[in-house]
């Protein structure tokens, strides 16, 4: 998995490319903690190039959400494919992690 981070004002957009699965999840967890250490409290995860996510990956999203919530931050997803939206619904994470159709919509919401 590759992750590109870019700052737009007080929001950081993380473009994720690859699968979020067992063994590939460490970079995402590390990125969450790096952004918090940098004082970044608002994250948009651009999920355009994420084709698959397993239970470990869902756990990483939940962990990122929780870590940001604990410091008064927030995290949303953008351009999430229907399968991932369904997983968010099945796990109950859609009640916490909001998804938006575009990065621009996500930026406006934060």
- In this prediction, residue 66 carries a pLDDT of 95
Closest CA to 79 of 15, 3, 7, 4: 15
To the question of pTM greater than 0.85 for the whole model, the response is yes
Question: Residue 51: which CATH number?
Answer: 3.30.750.24
Q: What is the pLDDT of residues 62-84, one digit of tens each?
A: 999 999 999 999 999 999 999 99
Distance CA 110, CA 10 (A): 9
Residue ranges of E strands in the chain: 2-8, 11-17, 42-49, 74-78, 99-100
Residue 104: pLDDT band (50, 70, 90) is very high
Domain that holds residue 46: 2-109
Task: Specify which of 28-32, 40-44, 56-60 reaches the highest per-range mean pLDDT.
Answer: 40-44
């Amino acid at each position: 998995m590759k992750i590109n981070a870019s700052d737009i004002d007080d929001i950081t957009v993380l473009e994720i490319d690859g699968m979020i699965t067992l063994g590939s999840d460490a970079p995402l967890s590390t990125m969450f903690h790096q952004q918090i250490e940098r004082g970044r409290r608002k994250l948009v995860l651009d999920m355009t190039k994420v084709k698959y996510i397993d239970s470990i990956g869902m756990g990483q999203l939940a962990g990122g959400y929780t870590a940001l919530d604990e410091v008064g931050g927030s995290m949303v997803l953008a351009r999430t494919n229907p399968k991932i939206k369904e997983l968010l619904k099945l796990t109950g994470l859609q009640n916490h992690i909001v998804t938006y159709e575009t990065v621009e919509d996500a930026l406006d919401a934060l």
